[in-house]
């Protein structure tokens, strides 16, 4: 049985869309950041993320986490995200820095950017210094926020059907699956990969039409690292983030 809620987004063309096949790129533009926003909100407890080495299953915080809890949290918080964006739409459209602050405060603490960064860099994460890991995770997170946050305001009322949860490869992993109805095209499957760590579910990947956010960034970044090195990639991300500062942020920076 499917549970329906209204959701969705539509955004202007984004540079990272070029990393995906044509159909998926179009869907990414319309869906990705709202999907990330919903996923980022699914955890009940807040907490800052720090850079650390990969954890073993024994560090997950619970031996038998409930996958249905992740699904229930996604369903509840989807309505919350929509209500928040609609209530503050005029304010957020007028002040992009407030939208960035909202994402940082309300969404980012619930997304495991360290695990995402580790998966994205792959072997280069293992070779990186702790300082490089910290800087990459910080700049990568900011790039995602700066590149996609504004599309969260382009809510157009599409519907999401929540499909049965799928277990992951390990007991502490789960996939929350959704089917998004879009006008003029077939429904799209958007899947959120979560892992249970220290008593809470955290998102570490999003797949749209079977295309993984992590895998596509890994491919793109690996090519850049081979050509110019990890340090150059981090600097490139830092410069992109600097260029995407709002006028108010530049004034106060």
Structural domain includes residue 90: yes
Structural domain includes residue 166: yes
Structural domain includes residue 252: no
pLDDT at 44: 27
pLDDT at 45 over 50: no
pLDDT at 139: 95
pLDDT at 195: 93
Bridge partners of 177, per DSSP, are: 191
Look up the domain containing 154 and give its range: 3-12+26-49+63-244
Of the spans 49-58, 148-157, 202-211, 242-251, which averages the highest pLDDT? Answer: 202-211
Structural domain includes residue 55: no
Of the spans 59-73, 77-91, 171-185, which averages the highest pLDDT? Answer: 171-185
Contacting residues for 165 by C-beta, under 8 A, at least 6 apart: 67, 68, 70, 71, 174, 175, 176, 177
Q: Which residue has the higher pLDDT, 198 or 43?
A: 198
Q: How many CB atoms lie within 10 A of CB 11?
A: 21
Structural domain includes residue 250: no
pLDDT at 22: 46
Average pLDDT over residues 40-48: 31
Q: What is the CATH number of the domain that holds 239?
A: 3.10.450.710
pLDDT at 239: 94
Structural domain includes residue 251: no
Structural domain includes residue 141: yes
Q: Which residue has the higher pLDDT, 83 or 117?
A: 117
Confidence tier at 219 by pLDDT (50, 70, 90) = very high
Average pLDDT over residues 153-182: 84
pLDDT at 3: 52
Structural domain includes residue 167: yes
Confidence tier at 136 by pLDDT (50, 70, 90) = very high
What's the mean per-residue pLDDT of the chain? 74
Please count the structural domains in the chain: 1
């Amino acid at each position: 049985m499917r549970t329906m809620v209204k959701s969705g987004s539509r955004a202007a063309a984004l540079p990272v869309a070029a990393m995906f096949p044509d159909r998926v790129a179009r869907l990414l533009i319309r869906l990705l950041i709202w999907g990330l926003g919903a996923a980022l909100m699914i955890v009940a407890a807040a907490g800052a993320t720090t850079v650390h080495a990969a954890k073993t299953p024994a560090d997950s915080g619970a031996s038998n986490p409930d996958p249905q809890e992740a699904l229930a949290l996604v369903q509840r918080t989807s309505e919350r995200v929509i209500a928040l964006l609609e209530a503050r739409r005029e304010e957020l459209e007028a002040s992009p820095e407030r939208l960035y602050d909202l994402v940082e405060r309300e969404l980012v603490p619930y997304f495991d950017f360290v695990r995402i960064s580790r998966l994205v860099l792959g072997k280069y994460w293992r070779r990186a210094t702790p300082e490089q890991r910290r800087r990459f995770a910080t700049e990568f997170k900011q790039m995602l926020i700066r590149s996609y946050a504004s599309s969260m305001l382009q809510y157009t009322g599409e519907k999401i059907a929540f499909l049965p949860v799928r277990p992951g490869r390990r007991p502490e992993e789960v996939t929350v699956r959704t089917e998004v109805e879009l006008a003029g095209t077939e429904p799209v499957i958007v899947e959120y990969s979560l892992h249970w760590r220290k008593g809470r579910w955290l998102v570490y990947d999003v797949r749209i039409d079977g295309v993984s956010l992590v895998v596509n960034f890994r491919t793109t970044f690996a090519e850049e690292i081979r050509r110019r090195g990890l340090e150059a990639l981090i600097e490139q991300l830092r410069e992109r983030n600097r260029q995407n500062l709002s006028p108010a942020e530049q004034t106060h920076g």
